Structure 1
Protein backbone atom coordinates (compact mmCIF):
# COMPACT_ATOMS: atom_id res chain seq x y z
CA UNK A 1 0.00 0.00 0.00
CA UNK A 2 3.02 2.28 0.35
CA UNK A 3 3.16 3.09 -3.38
CA UNK A 4 -0.48 4.20 -3.12
CA UNK A 5 0.21 6.10 0.10
CA UNK A 6 2.88 8.18 -1.65
CA UNK A 7 0.20 9.46 -4.05
CA UNK A 8 -2.37 10.39 -1.42
CA UNK A 9 -0.76 11.21 1.93
CA UNK A 10 0.10 14.87 2.57
CA UNK A 11 -1.20 15.83 -0.86
CA UNK A 12 -4.48 17.47 -1.83
CA UNK A 13 -6.88 14.86 -3.18
CA UNK A 14 -10.34 14.98 -4.67
CA UNK A 15 -12.18 11.79 -3.70
CA UNK A 16 -15.61 10.98 -2.32
CA UNK A 17 -15.91 10.20 1.37
CA UNK A 18 -16.65 6.53 0.67
CA UNK A 19 -13.39 6.14 -1.24
CA UNK A 20 -11.49 8.07 1.41
CA UNK A 21 -12.85 5.71 4.05
CA UNK A 22 -11.59 2.74 2.03
CA UNK A 23 -8.22 4.42 1.66
CA UNK A 24 -7.99 5.03 5.42
CA UNK A 25 -8.78 1.40 6.16
CA UNK A 26 -6.08 0.35 3.72
CA UNK A 27 -3.48 2.59 5.37
CA UNK A 28 -4.45 1.45 8.86
CA UNK A 29 -4.50 -2.23 7.96
CA UNK A 30 -1.43 -2.24 5.75
CA UNK A 31 -3.35 -3.47 2.72
CA UNK A 32 -1.74 -3.70 -0.70
CA UNK A 33 -2.40 -1.55 -3.75
CA UNK A 34 -4.73 -4.15 -5.28
CA UNK A 35 -7.12 -3.65 -2.37
CA UNK A 36 -7.72 -0.08 -3.50
CA UNK A 37 -6.96 -0.02 -7.24
CA UNK A 38 -8.08 -3.51 -8.26
CA UNK A 39 -6.07 -6.09 -10.17
CA UNK A 40 -3.19 -5.27 -12.48
CA UNK A 41 -4.12 -5.71 -16.12
CA UNK A 42 -2.36 -5.75 -19.46
CA UNK A 43 -2.14 -2.34 -21.11
CA UNK A 44 -4.72 -1.85 -23.89
CA UNK A 45 -3.57 -2.30 -27.48
CA UNK A 46 -4.97 1.09 -28.56
CA UNK A 47 -5.54 4.36 -26.67
CA UNK A 48 -9.27 4.26 -27.47
CA UNK A 49 -11.94 2.34 -29.32
CA UNK A 50 -13.71 3.94 -32.28
CA UNK A 51 -17.42 3.21 -32.73
CA UNK A 52 -19.00 4.74 -35.83
CA UNK A 53 -16.66 7.71 -35.70
CA UNK A 54 -16.83 8.19 -31.91
CA UNK A 55 -13.61 7.78 -29.92
CA UNK A 56 -14.47 6.07 -26.63
CA UNK A 57 -12.09 7.22 -23.86
CA UNK A 58 -12.63 5.62 -20.44
CA UNK A 59 -12.37 7.72 -17.28
CA UNK A 60 -13.01 5.07 -14.65
CA UNK A 61 -12.00 4.12 -11.15
CA UNK A 62 -9.51 6.13 -9.12
CA UNK A 63 -7.74 8.82 -11.17
CA UNK A 64 -3.95 8.89 -10.77
CA UNK A 65 -1.14 11.15 -12.02
CA UNK A 66 1.23 10.06 -14.75
CA UNK A 67 1.05 6.74 -16.52
CA UNK A 68 2.00 3.28 -15.38
CA UNK A 69 0.50 -0.07 -14.52
CA UNK A 70 -2.95 -0.69 -15.91
CA UNK A 71 -5.34 -1.33 -13.02
CA UNK A 72 -8.90 -2.62 -13.22
CA UNK A 73 -9.96 0.15 -10.83
CA UNK A 74 -7.87 3.13 -11.95
CA UNK A 75 -7.17 5.49 -14.85
CA UNK A 76 -4.10 7.67 -15.34
CA UNK A 77 -4.46 11.33 -16.28
CA UNK A 78 -1.62 11.11 -18.78
CA UNK A 79 -3.45 8.31 -20.58
CA UNK A 80 -6.57 10.49 -20.80
CA UNK A 81 -4.54 13.37 -22.24
CA UNK A 82 -2.70 11.17 -24.75
CA UNK A 83 -5.96 9.55 -25.87
CA UNK A 84 -7.59 12.95 -26.28
CA UNK A 85 -4.67 14.31 -28.33
CA UNK A 86 -4.65 11.25 -30.59
CA UNK A 87 -8.43 11.35 -31.10
CA UNK A 88 -8.33 15.03 -32.03
CA UNK A 89 -5.79 14.26 -34.76
CA UNK A 90 -7.41 11.02 -35.94
CA UNK A 91 -9.30 11.51 -39.24
CA UNK A 92 -11.45 8.46 -38.41
CA UNK A 93 -12.78 10.23 -35.29
CA UNK A 94 -15.66 12.68 -35.67
CA UNK A 95 -16.46 13.12 -31.97
CA UNK A 96 -15.16 12.08 -28.57
CA UNK A 97 -16.99 10.40 -25.69
CA UNK A 98 -15.47 10.39 -22.22
CA UNK A 99 -17.16 7.42 -20.55
CA UNK A 100 -17.01 8.38 -16.88
CA UNK A 101 -17.55 6.27 -13.78
CA UNK A 102 -15.20 7.44 -11.04
CA UNK A 103 -15.16 8.60 -7.40
CA UNK A 104 -12.28 10.98 -8.18
CA UNK A 105 -8.58 10.82 -7.46
CA UNK A 106 -5.53 13.01 -7.00
CA UNK A 107 -5.53 16.76 -7.54
CA UNK A 108 -2.11 16.41 -9.14
CA UNK A 109 -2.64 16.58 -12.94
CA UNK A 110 -6.43 16.82 -12.56
CA UNK A 111 -6.84 20.52 -13.32
CA UNK A 112 -4.28 20.45 -16.14
CA UNK A 113 -6.12 17.55 -17.75
CA UNK A 114 -9.46 19.35 -17.41
CA UNK A 115 -7.93 22.48 -18.97
CA UNK A 116 -6.72 20.52 -22.00
CA UNK A 117 -10.21 19.10 -22.54
CA UNK A 118 -11.75 22.56 -22.16
CA UNK A 119 -9.26 24.06 -24.63
CA UNK A 120 -10.12 21.34 -27.17
CA UNK A 121 -13.76 22.44 -27.32
CA UNK A 122 -14.71 23.39 -30.85
CA UNK A 123 -12.23 21.06 -32.54
CA UNK A 124 -14.53 18.06 -32.30
CA UNK A 125 -17.63 17.49 -30.13
CA UNK A 126 -16.58 16.20 -26.71
CA UNK A 127 -19.23 14.66 -24.47
CA UNK A 128 -18.86 13.35 -20.94
CA UNK A 129 -21.17 10.35 -20.78
CA UNK A 130 -21.60 9.17 -17.23
CA UNK A 131 -21.83 5.40 -16.93
CA UNK A 132 -22.75 5.99 -13.30
CA UNK A 133 -21.03 8.78 -11.35
CA UNK A 134 -18.54 11.60 -11.87
CA UNK A 135 -17.48 12.77 -8.44
CA UNK A 136 -14.74 15.11 -7.27
CA UNK A 137 -11.70 14.93 -9.60
CA UNK A 138 -13.75 12.94 -12.10
CA UNK A 139 -16.35 15.69 -12.13
CA UNK A 140 -13.59 18.23 -12.84
CA UNK A 141 -12.74 16.18 -15.93
CA UNK A 142 -16.37 15.74 -16.98
CA UNK A 143 -17.17 19.42 -16.48
CA UNK A 144 -14.63 20.34 -19.17
CA UNK A 145 -16.61 18.56 -21.90
CA UNK A 146 -19.11 20.31 -24.19
CA UNK A 147 -22.04 18.28 -22.88
CA UNK A 148 -22.68 16.02 -19.87
CA UNK A 149 -25.21 13.20 -19.65
CA UNK A 150 -26.03 11.36 -16.45
CA UNK A 151 -28.25 8.31 -15.78
CA UNK A 152 -31.34 8.88 -13.63
CA UNK A 153 -29.65 7.27 -10.63
CA UNK A 154 -26.14 8.46 -11.53
CA UNK A 155 -24.41 11.27 -9.73
CA UNK A 156 -22.40 14.47 -10.11
CA UNK A 157 -20.68 16.80 -7.68
CA UNK A 158 -18.39 16.30 -4.68
CA UNK A 159 -16.64 19.51 -5.73
CA UNK A 160 -14.13 19.68 -2.92
CA UNK A 161 -10.58 18.87 -1.84
CA UNK A 162 -9.25 17.01 1.19
CA UNK A 163 -5.90 16.19 2.73
CA UNK A 164 -4.75 13.48 5.13
CA UNK A 165 -1.89 13.36 7.61
CA UNK A 166 -0.82 10.20 9.42
CA UNK A 167 0.76 10.55 12.88
CA UNK A 168 2.48 7.34 14.00
CA UNK A 169 4.22 8.80 17.04
CA UNK A 170 1.89 7.11 19.56
CA UNK A 171 2.30 3.71 17.88
CA UNK A 172 6.08 4.08 17.85
CA UNK A 173 6.08 5.03 21.53
CA UNK A 174 3.92 2.01 22.39
CA UNK A 175 6.41 -0.19 20.55
CA UNK A 176 9.33 1.33 22.43
CA UNK A 177 10.71 3.06 19.31
CA UNK A 178 12.04 6.62 19.49
CA UNK A 179 12.70 8.52 16.27
CA UNK A 180 15.14 11.42 16.32
CA UNK A 181 14.90 13.79 13.35
CA UNK A 182 17.64 16.15 12.19
CA UNK A 183 16.43 18.86 9.87
CA UNK A 184 17.34 22.13 8.20
CA UNK A 185 14.36 24.45 7.90
CA UNK A 186 11.69 24.82 10.56
CA UNK A 187 8.90 23.50 8.32
CA UNK A 188 10.85 20.64 6.71
CA UNK A 189 9.15 17.86 8.68
CA UNK A 190 5.69 19.42 9.13
CA UNK A 191 4.03 16.57 7.24
CA UNK A 192 6.21 13.70 8.44
CA UNK A 193 4.28 10.86 10.13
CA UNK A 194 6.95 10.81 12.85
CA UNK A 195 6.35 14.49 13.67
CA UNK A 196 3.30 15.45 15.76
CA UNK A 197 1.11 17.86 13.81
CA UNK A 198 1.41 21.34 15.30
CA UNK A 199 -1.27 24.02 15.11
CA UNK A 200 0.78 26.20 12.71
CA UNK A 201 1.42 23.18 10.47
CA UNK A 202 -2.29 22.31 10.51
CA UNK A 203 -3.18 25.88 9.56
CA UNK A 204 -0.72 25.88 6.66
CA UNK A 205 -2.05 22.57 5.36
CA UNK A 206 -5.63 23.80 5.65
CA UNK A 207 -4.68 26.97 3.74
CA UNK A 208 -3.33 24.81 0.90
CA UNK A 209 -6.54 22.80 0.83
CA UNK A 210 -8.63 25.99 0.80
CA UNK A 211 -6.61 27.35 -2.12
CA UNK A 212 -7.05 24.13 -4.10
CA UNK A 213 -10.76 24.13 -3.29
CA UNK A 214 -11.18 27.63 -4.67
CA UNK A 215 -9.29 26.58 -7.81
CA UNK A 216 -11.74 23.69 -8.18
CA UNK A 217 -14.71 26.05 -7.78
CA UNK A 218 -13.33 28.45 -10.39
CA UNK A 219 -12.65 25.62 -12.84
CA UNK A 220 -16.18 24.21 -12.61
CA UNK A 221 -17.75 27.68 -12.78
CA UNK A 222 -15.83 28.41 -15.98
CA UNK A 223 -16.44 25.02 -17.56
CA UNK A 224 -20.17 25.00 -16.84
CA UNK A 225 -20.74 28.75 -17.21
CA UNK A 226 -22.35 29.06 -13.78
CA UNK A 227 -21.51 31.38 -10.90
CA UNK A 228 -18.74 30.42 -8.46
CA UNK A 229 -21.21 31.02 -5.64
CA UNK A 230 -23.52 28.27 -6.93
CA UNK A 231 -20.59 25.86 -7.13
CA UNK A 232 -19.23 26.86 -3.71
CA UNK A 233 -22.65 26.50 -2.10
CA UNK A 234 -22.84 22.84 -3.07
CA UNK A 235 -20.41 22.31 -0.15
CA UNK A 236 -18.94 19.28 -1.93
CA UNK A 237 -22.25 17.39 -1.77
CA UNK A 238 -23.19 14.81 -4.39
CA UNK A 239 -26.35 15.07 -6.50
CA UNK A 240 -28.36 12.33 -8.14
CA UNK A 241 -29.57 12.65 -11.72
CA UNK A 242 -31.99 15.54 -12.14
CA UNK A 243 -30.77 17.31 -9.00
CA UNK A 244 -27.36 17.81 -10.60
CA UNK A 245 -29.00 19.05 -13.80
CA UNK A 246 -31.05 21.58 -11.83
CA UNK A 247 -27.81 23.05 -10.44
CA UNK A 248 -26.18 23.19 -13.86
CA UNK A 249 -23.74 20.34 -13.19
CA UNK A 250 -25.06 18.21 -16.07
CA UNK A 251 -27.20 18.69 -19.16
CA UNK A 252 -29.38 15.67 -19.80
CA UNK A 253 -30.63 12.43 -18.29
CA UNK A 254 -29.56 9.51 -20.47
CA UNK A 255 -28.20 6.02 -20.24
CA UNK A 256 -24.78 5.58 -21.86
CA UNK A 257 -26.45 3.82 -24.81
CA UNK A 258 -28.94 6.68 -25.27
CA UNK A 259 -26.13 9.23 -25.01
CA UNK A 260 -23.98 7.48 -27.63
CA UNK A 261 -26.99 7.37 -29.98
CA UNK A 262 -27.59 11.08 -29.40
CA UNK A 263 -23.91 11.89 -30.02
CA UNK A 264 -24.08 10.00 -33.32
CA UNK A 265 -26.93 12.28 -34.37
CA UNK A 266 -25.30 15.49 -33.11
Structure 2
Protein backbone atom coordinates (compact mmCIF):
# COMPACT_ATOMS: atom_id res chain seq x y z
CA UNK A 1 0.00 0.00 0.00
CA UNK A 2 2.92 2.36 0.55
CA UNK A 3 3.49 2.58 -3.24
CA UNK A 4 0.17 4.21 -4.06
CA UNK A 5 0.72 7.69 -2.55
CA UNK A 6 4.01 7.75 -4.49
CA UNK A 7 2.13 6.91 -7.68
CA UNK A 8 -0.36 9.67 -6.94
CA UNK A 9 2.46 12.21 -6.73
CA UNK A 10 3.55 11.18 -10.22
CA UNK A 11 0.03 11.46 -11.66
CA UNK A 12 -1.58 14.54 -10.16
CA UNK A 13 -0.54 18.22 -10.32
CA UNK A 14 2.31 17.43 -12.69
CA UNK A 15 2.48 17.48 -16.48
CA UNK A 16 2.16 14.02 -18.05
CA UNK A 17 2.22 12.94 -21.68
CA UNK A 18 -0.22 10.05 -21.73
CA UNK A 19 -3.28 9.04 -23.68
CA UNK A 20 -6.34 10.42 -21.80
CA UNK A 21 -8.15 7.07 -21.83
CA UNK A 22 -5.19 5.43 -20.07
CA UNK A 23 -5.08 8.27 -17.54
CA UNK A 24 -8.74 7.69 -16.73
CA UNK A 25 -8.21 3.96 -16.22
CA UNK A 26 -5.19 4.51 -13.97
CA UNK A 27 -7.00 7.12 -11.91
CA UNK A 28 -10.04 4.90 -11.51
CA UNK A 29 -7.88 1.95 -10.52
CA UNK A 30 -6.05 4.03 -7.93
CA UNK A 31 -9.15 5.68 -6.51
CA UNK A 32 -10.05 2.95 -4.03
CA UNK A 33 -6.41 2.18 -3.19
CA UNK A 34 -5.76 5.81 -2.29
CA UNK A 35 -8.89 6.10 -0.17
CA UNK A 36 -10.56 8.47 -2.61
CA UNK A 37 -13.62 6.28 -3.06
CA UNK A 38 -14.32 6.20 0.68
CA UNK A 39 -14.78 9.98 0.67
CA UNK A 40 -17.81 9.69 -1.59
CA UNK A 41 -21.20 8.18 -0.92
CA UNK A 42 -22.24 5.08 -2.84
CA UNK A 43 -23.04 5.76 -6.48
CA UNK A 44 -21.00 8.95 -6.76
CA UNK A 45 -17.75 7.27 -7.75
CA UNK A 46 -17.24 3.90 -9.39
CA UNK A 47 -13.69 2.70 -8.82
CA UNK A 48 -12.60 0.37 -11.62
CA UNK A 49 -10.37 -2.44 -10.41
CA UNK A 50 -9.12 -4.28 -13.49
CA UNK A 51 -7.42 -7.62 -12.99
CA UNK A 52 -4.35 -6.29 -14.77
CA UNK A 53 -3.82 -3.76 -11.99
CA UNK A 54 -3.90 -6.50 -9.35
CA UNK A 55 -1.33 -8.45 -11.36
CA UNK A 56 0.84 -5.34 -11.64
CA UNK A 57 0.70 -4.88 -7.88
CA UNK A 58 1.85 -8.45 -7.31
CA UNK A 59 4.67 -7.99 -9.81
CA UNK A 60 5.73 -4.79 -8.10
CA UNK A 61 5.96 -6.58 -4.76
CA UNK A 62 8.16 -9.25 -6.32
CA UNK A 63 10.43 -6.59 -7.82
CA UNK A 64 12.28 -6.53 -11.15
CA UNK A 65 14.09 -9.53 -12.56
CA UNK A 66 17.02 -9.38 -14.92
CA UNK A 67 17.57 -12.58 -16.89
CA UNK A 68 20.88 -11.50 -18.41
CA UNK A 69 23.44 -8.72 -18.41
CA UNK A 70 21.70 -6.64 -21.07
CA UNK A 71 18.11 -5.54 -21.08
CA UNK A 72 17.73 -6.31 -24.77
CA UNK A 73 17.68 -9.38 -27.00
CA UNK A 74 19.75 -9.73 -30.16
CA UNK A 75 18.08 -11.41 -33.13
CA UNK A 76 19.88 -11.51 -36.45
CA UNK A 77 22.21 -8.72 -35.39
CA UNK A 78 19.31 -6.50 -34.31
CA UNK A 79 18.98 -5.41 -30.68
CA UNK A 80 15.34 -5.47 -29.60
CA UNK A 81 14.58 -2.90 -26.90
CA UNK A 82 11.08 -3.24 -25.48
CA UNK A 83 9.13 -0.07 -24.67
CA UNK A 84 5.77 -1.08 -23.22
CA UNK A 85 3.19 0.04 -20.72
CA UNK A 86 3.28 3.33 -18.85
CA UNK A 87 6.56 5.24 -19.22
CA UNK A 88 8.26 6.61 -16.12
CA UNK A 89 11.43 8.58 -15.54
CA UNK A 90 13.20 6.14 -13.22
CA UNK A 91 12.28 2.48 -12.86
CA UNK A 92 15.68 1.14 -11.86
CA UNK A 93 15.58 -1.84 -14.21
CA UNK A 94 16.62 -2.46 -17.80
CA UNK A 95 13.42 -4.29 -18.70
CA UNK A 96 9.75 -3.34 -18.37
CA UNK A 97 8.03 -4.65 -15.27
CA UNK A 98 4.79 -4.07 -13.38
CA UNK A 99 3.28 -2.54 -16.53
CA UNK A 100 5.93 0.18 -16.76
CA UNK A 101 9.11 1.01 -18.69
CA UNK A 102 11.72 3.43 -17.40
CA UNK A 103 13.44 6.06 -19.50
CA UNK A 104 16.57 5.19 -17.52
CA UNK A 105 16.45 1.59 -18.73
CA UNK A 106 15.78 2.59 -22.35
CA UNK A 107 18.76 4.94 -22.32
CA UNK A 108 21.15 2.37 -20.83
CA UNK A 109 19.99 -0.31 -23.27
CA UNK A 110 20.45 2.06 -26.20
CA UNK A 111 23.97 3.07 -25.19
CA UNK A 112 24.96 -0.55 -24.51
CA UNK A 113 23.59 -1.71 -27.87
CA UNK A 114 25.49 1.02 -29.69
CA UNK A 115 28.74 -0.23 -28.14
CA UNK A 116 27.89 -3.91 -28.66
CA UNK A 117 29.91 -5.32 -31.60
CA UNK A 118 27.23 -8.00 -32.13
CA UNK A 119 24.57 -5.36 -32.78
CA UNK A 120 24.20 -3.97 -36.29
CA UNK A 121 20.88 -2.18 -35.80
CA UNK A 122 18.50 -1.26 -32.98
CA UNK A 123 14.72 -1.72 -32.96
CA UNK A 124 12.50 -0.21 -30.29
CA UNK A 125 9.44 -2.45 -29.95
CA UNK A 126 6.83 0.03 -28.78
CA UNK A 127 3.35 -0.49 -27.36
CA UNK A 128 2.63 2.29 -24.89
CA UNK A 129 0.03 4.96 -24.09
CA UNK A 130 2.78 7.33 -22.91
CA UNK A 131 3.65 8.46 -19.41
CA UNK A 132 5.71 11.00 -17.52
CA UNK A 133 7.01 14.19 -19.11
CA UNK A 134 10.00 14.22 -16.76
CA UNK A 135 12.92 12.67 -18.61
CA UNK A 136 10.96 12.05 -21.82
CA UNK A 137 12.33 14.83 -24.02
CA UNK A 138 15.88 14.42 -22.75
CA UNK A 139 15.72 10.79 -23.86
CA UNK A 140 14.20 11.77 -27.21
CA UNK A 141 17.05 14.25 -27.74
CA UNK A 142 19.59 11.56 -26.88
CA UNK A 143 18.10 9.10 -29.38
CA UNK A 144 17.95 11.78 -32.07
CA UNK A 145 21.57 12.79 -31.47
CA UNK A 146 22.70 9.18 -31.97
CA UNK A 147 21.17 8.80 -35.42
CA UNK A 148 23.68 7.65 -37.98
CA UNK A 149 25.76 5.40 -35.72
CA UNK A 150 23.52 2.39 -36.27
CA UNK A 151 20.03 2.16 -37.81
CA UNK A 152 17.40 3.08 -35.21
CA UNK A 153 13.88 1.90 -35.98
CA UNK A 154 10.68 2.30 -33.99
CA UNK A 155 8.59 -0.80 -34.67
CA UNK A 156 5.14 -0.28 -33.21
CA UNK A 157 3.60 -3.43 -31.78
CA UNK A 158 0.29 -1.57 -31.79
CA UNK A 159 0.48 1.94 -30.25
CA UNK A 160 2.92 4.78 -29.64
CA UNK A 161 0.92 7.57 -28.06
CA UNK A 162 2.07 10.77 -26.40
CA UNK A 163 5.42 10.25 -24.58
CA UNK A 164 5.86 6.95 -26.42
CA UNK A 165 5.51 8.80 -29.70
CA UNK A 166 8.14 11.32 -28.56
CA UNK A 167 10.54 8.37 -28.31
CA UNK A 168 9.41 6.82 -31.60
CA UNK A 169 9.76 10.03 -33.58
CA UNK A 170 13.41 10.32 -32.51
CA UNK A 171 14.24 7.18 -34.51
CA UNK A 172 15.21 6.96 -38.18
CA UNK A 173 12.02 5.16 -39.17
CA UNK A 174 8.60 4.41 -37.68
CA UNK A 175 6.39 1.51 -38.72
CA UNK A 176 2.84 1.04 -37.49
CA UNK A 177 0.50 -1.93 -37.93
CA UNK A 178 -2.90 -1.50 -39.56
CA UNK A 179 -4.65 -1.48 -36.19
CA UNK A 180 -1.92 0.48 -34.37
CA UNK A 181 -1.95 4.13 -33.38
CA UNK A 182 0.31 7.17 -33.41
CA UNK A 183 -0.10 10.72 -32.21
CA UNK A 184 -1.65 12.25 -29.10
CA UNK A 185 1.02 14.94 -29.29
CA UNK A 186 -0.05 16.83 -26.22
CA UNK A 187 0.38 17.19 -22.47
CA UNK A 188 -2.22 17.00 -19.72
CA UNK A 189 -2.35 17.74 -16.02
CA UNK A 190 -4.90 16.45 -13.52
CA UNK A 191 -5.92 18.29 -10.37
CA UNK A 192 -7.98 16.51 -7.72
CA UNK A 193 -10.09 18.63 -5.37
CA UNK A 194 -11.07 16.77 -2.17
CA UNK A 195 -12.15 19.89 -0.29
CA UNK A 196 -15.91 19.45 -0.61
CA UNK A 197 -15.81 15.70 0.06
CA UNK A 198 -13.65 16.27 3.15
CA UNK A 199 -16.01 18.97 4.39
CA UNK A 200 -18.99 16.65 4.04
CA UNK A 201 -17.06 14.04 5.99
CA UNK A 202 -16.40 16.50 8.80
CA UNK A 203 -12.70 16.77 8.00
CA UNK A 204 -10.93 20.12 7.79
CA UNK A 205 -7.42 20.46 6.42
CA UNK A 206 -5.65 23.73 7.20
CA UNK A 207 -2.62 24.61 5.11
CA UNK A 208 0.01 26.60 7.00
CA UNK A 209 2.48 27.94 4.49
CA UNK A 210 5.50 30.16 4.12
CA UNK A 211 5.42 31.70 0.66
CA UNK A 212 2.22 32.61 -1.16
CA UNK A 213 2.57 29.86 -3.76
CA UNK A 214 3.67 27.09 -1.40
CA UNK A 215 1.49 23.97 -1.77
CA UNK A 216 -0.31 25.67 -4.64
CA UNK A 217 -2.70 23.29 -6.36
CA UNK A 218 -2.93 20.93 -3.40
CA UNK A 219 -5.99 18.63 -3.34
CA UNK A 220 -7.39 19.98 -0.06
CA UNK A 221 -8.30 23.45 -1.30
CA UNK A 222 -10.22 24.85 -4.25
CA UNK A 223 -8.00 25.52 -7.24
CA UNK A 224 -7.71 29.29 -7.52
CA UNK A 225 -7.76 30.97 -10.91
CA UNK A 226 -4.20 32.28 -10.57
CA UNK A 227 -2.89 28.84 -9.62
CA UNK A 228 -4.75 27.27 -12.53
CA UNK A 229 -3.25 29.85 -14.89
CA UNK A 230 0.27 29.05 -13.68
CA UNK A 231 -0.35 25.32 -14.08
CA UNK A 232 -1.73 25.93 -17.57
CA UNK A 233 1.41 27.91 -18.41
CA UNK A 234 3.57 24.95 -17.43
CA UNK A 235 1.41 22.60 -19.51
CA UNK A 236 1.66 24.96 -22.49
CA UNK A 237 5.45 25.12 -22.16
CA UNK A 238 5.71 21.33 -22.13
CA UNK A 239 3.29 21.08 -25.04
CA UNK A 240 5.32 23.47 -27.16
CA UNK A 241 8.47 21.48 -26.36
CA UNK A 242 6.65 18.35 -27.56
CA UNK A 243 5.59 20.03 -30.80
CA UNK A 244 9.09 21.36 -31.46
CA UNK A 245 10.59 17.92 -30.79
CA UNK A 246 8.27 16.14 -33.21
CA UNK A 247 8.64 18.84 -35.86
CA UNK A 248 12.43 18.56 -35.71
CA UNK A 249 12.56 14.77 -35.62
CA UNK A 250 10.00 14.20 -38.36
CA UNK A 251 10.95 17.25 -40.42
CA UNK A 252 7.44 18.60 -40.28
CA UNK A 253 6.16 22.13 -39.82
CA UNK A 254 5.20 23.00 -36.26
CA UNK A 255 1.90 24.32 -37.61
CA UNK A 256 1.11 20.84 -38.94
CA UNK A 257 1.76 19.33 -35.51
CA UNK A 258 -0.38 22.00 -33.85
CA UNK A 259 -3.07 21.14 -36.36
CA UNK A 260 -3.40 17.61 -35.05
CA UNK A 261 -4.73 19.02 -31.74
CA UNK A 262 -3.34 15.96 -29.94
CA UNK A 263 -5.46 13.66 -32.12
CA UNK A 264 -4.58 9.98 -32.46
CA UNK A 265 -4.25 8.32 -35.88
CA UNK A 266 -5.03 4.73 -36.78
CA UNK A 267 -2.66 2.82 -39.04
CA UNK A 268 -2.33 4.40 -42.47
CA UNK A 269 -3.78 7.71 -41.24
CA UNK A 270 -0.60 8.17 -39.22
CA UNK A 271 1.50 7.72 -42.36
CA UNK A 272 -0.65 10.25 -44.21
CA UNK A 273 -0.16 12.73 -41.37
CA UNK A 274 3.60 12.24 -41.55
CA UNK A 275 3.81 10.64 -38.12
CA UNK A 276 4.93 7.22 -39.45
CA UNK A 277 6.75 5.92 -42.50
CA UNK A 278 5.01 2.65 -43.33
CA UNK A 279 2.11 0.42 -42.39
CA UNK A 280 3.67 -2.91 -41.46
CA UNK A 281 3.10 -5.62 -38.91
CA UNK A 282 5.96 -6.02 -36.41
CA UNK A 283 7.12 -9.15 -38.27
CA UNK A 284 7.13 -7.35 -41.60
CA UNK A 285 8.98 -4.38 -40.14
CA UNK A 286 11.60 -6.59 -38.52
CA UNK A 287 12.08 -8.43 -41.82
CA UNK A 288 12.51 -5.13 -43.66
CA UNK A 289 15.11 -3.95 -41.16
CA UNK A 290 16.95 -7.28 -41.36
CA UNK A 291 17.05 -7.17 -45.17
CA UNK A 292 18.33 -3.58 -45.11
CA UNK A 293 21.43 -4.79 -43.26
Coarse TM-score class (shorter-chain normalised): over 0.9
* Other-structure match for 1:52: 76
Work out the CA distance in 2 between the residues paired with 1:43 and 1:191: 37
Q: Does 1:64 align with 2:67?
A: no
Tell whether the 8 Å contact from 2:13 to 2:190 is kept in structure 1 after alignment.
Answer: yes
Q: How many residues align?
A: 266
Tell whether the 8 Å contact from 2:80 to 2:125 is kept in structure 1 after alignment.
Answer: yes
Work out the CA distance in 2 between the residues paired with 1:195 and 1:37: 34
Per the TM alignment, residue 99 of structure 1 is displaced from its structure 2 partner at its CA by 0.2
SS at 2:205 equivalent: coil
1:35 to 28, 44, 53: 53
Tell whether the 8 Å contact from 1:26 to 1:36 is kept in structure 2 after alignment.
Answer: no
Per the TM alignment, residue 37 of structure 1 is displaced from its structure 2 partner at its CA by 8.3
SS at 1:71 equivalent: coil
| Aligned alpha-carbon RMSD (Å) | 1.8
Per the TM alignment, residue 36 of structure 1 is displaced from its structure 2 partner at its CA by 8.1
2:285 to 245, 259, 262: 259
Tell whether the 8 Å contact from 2:92 to 2:105 is kept in structure 1 after alignment.
Answer: no
SS at 1:59 equivalent: strand
TM-score, length of structure 2 as denominator length? 0.87
Q: Which runs of 5+ in 1 are unaligned?
A: none
Q: Which runs of 5+ in 2 are unaligned?
A: 35-48
Tell whether the 8 Å contact from 1:22 to 1:36 is kept in structure 2 after alignment.
Answer: no
Tell whether the 8 Å contact from 2:185 to 2:262 is kept in structure 1 after alignment.
Answer: yes
Moved more, 4-13 or 124-133: 4-13
Q: Does 1:148 align with 2:171?
A: no
Q: Does 1:159 align with 2:185?
A: yes
Work out the CA distance in 1 between the residues paired with 2:260 and 2:282: 26
Tell whether the 8 Å contact from 1:99 to 1:130 is kept in structure 2 after alignment.
Answer: yes
Report matched runs for 1:1-266 at 5 Å: 1-30=4-33, 35=53, 38=56, 39-40=59-60, 42-44=64-66, 45=68, 46-68=70-92, 71-266=97-292
TM-score, length of structure 1 as denominator length? 0.95
Per the TM alignment, residue 50 of structure 1 is displaced from its structure 2 partner at its CA by 0.4
Cα-to-partner distance string for 1:187-231 (whole Å, 9 max, x where unaligned): 112121112210000111011101111110000000000000111
Cα-to-partner distance string for 1:147-205 (whole Å, 9 max, x where unaligned): 00000111100000000111111121112111121111111121211122100001110
Work out the CA distance in 1 between the residues paired with 2:148 and 2:92: 30
